[in-house]
């Protein structure tokens, strides 16, 4: 699941125009890091909407019926919060 998410997430971020400024990056880790930094710049309500949109598109990408939007949203929020802790900032809800 993690590998598939790493494969489809860059496309999702590009489709949502979150990562259009880093589209030229070929390194997936750098691409995702840059995209997460861009996402952090959004206002809290917009960021919440974007996380929800990402969750919906990830759920669609997995389309096996075993993963729900709520589960994916929870995973995305947990990863985002962990990244914010690593940066030494508090996540905004």
- Kindly write down the DSSP assignment for every residue of 17-41, as one continuous string: TSSGGGTT---HHHHHHHHHHHHHT
Distance CA 73, CA 55 (A): 5
Structure tokens at 29: 């880790």
Residue 90: pLDDT band (50, 70, 90) is low
What's residue 87's pLDDT?
63
What's residue 86's pLDDT?
62
Domain limits for position 37: 2-87
Chain CA centroid to CA 74, Å = 11
Could you tell me if residue 93 is inside a domain? no
**pTM for this structure?**
0.67
Could you tell me if residue 52 is inside a domain? yes
Could you tell me if residue 92 is inside a domain? no
In this predicted model, which residue has the larger pLDDT, 24 or 92? 24
Residue 1: pLDDT band (50, 70, 90) is low
Distance CA 45, CA 23 (A): 25
């Amino acid at each position: 699941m993690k590998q598939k998410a790493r494969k489809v997430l860059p496309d999702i971020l590009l489709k949502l125009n979150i990562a259009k400024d880093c589209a030229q990056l070929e390194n997936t880790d750098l691409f995702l890091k840059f995209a997460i930094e861009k996402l952090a710049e959004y206002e809290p309500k917009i960021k919440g909407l974007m996380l929800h949109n990402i969750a919906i598109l990830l759920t669609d990408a997995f389309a096996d019926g075993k993963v729900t939007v709520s589960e994916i949203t929870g995973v995305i929020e947990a990863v985002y919060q962990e990244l914010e802790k690593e940066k030494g900032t508090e996540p905004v809800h």
